[in-house]
């Protein structure tokens, strides 16, 4: 499997899925905040009525960009058996792992901040109604 594209494809797919999930939860929080806090706004109605292809167009570019960067822009990964732990593990450049982890951590922290703000607004509006 090592001389194939599979190790790098698996690795890029994992990071793209993580960032995609973070982005999806964040967009869902923003959508709920708009619908609860600003139901009369045209933006809230537009956001709620987006077609599936348009949602994909908004949601997919950033995770795909990260996945393509990992797949095409980084040193290829390999799988190796490590006798000390008795398992097969992925071996790659430490700098690449650090960059990928930093991108994912920044996306997670940013998404958490935005989502928490959105839900605080929702709870404040629902409390006053």
pLDDT at 121: 95
* Per-residue tens of pLDDT for the chain, all 129 residues: 667 788 888 888 988 999 999 999 999 999 899 889 988 888 778 877 888 888 888 888 999 999 899 888 888 888 888 888 888 887 888 898 899 999 999 999 999 999 999 999 999 999 987
Residues in the chain: 129
**DSSP-assigned states of every residue in 57-75:** HHHSHHHHHHHHHHHHHSP
DSSP helix/strand/coil, 81: strand
pLDDT at 1: 62
**Nearest residue to 34 (alpha-carbon basis) of 22, 46, 51, 18:** 46
């Amino acid at each position: 499997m090592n001389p194939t594209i599979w190790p790098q494809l698996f690795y890029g797919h994992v990071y793209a899925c993580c960032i995609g999930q973070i982005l999806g939860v964040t967009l869902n929080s923003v959508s709920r905040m708009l619908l609860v806090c600003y139901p009369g706004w045209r933006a809230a109605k537009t956001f709620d009525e987006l077609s599936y292809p348009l949602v994909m167009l908004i949601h997919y570019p950033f995770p795909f960009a990260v996945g393509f960067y990992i797949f095409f822009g980084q040193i290829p990964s390999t799988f190796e058996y490590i006798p000390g732990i008795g398992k097969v593990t992925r071996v790659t450049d430490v700098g690449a792992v650090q960059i990928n982890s930093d991108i994912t951590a920044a996306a997670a922290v940013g998404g958490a901040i935005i989502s928490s703000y959105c839900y605080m607004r929702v709870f404040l509006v629902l409390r006053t109604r």
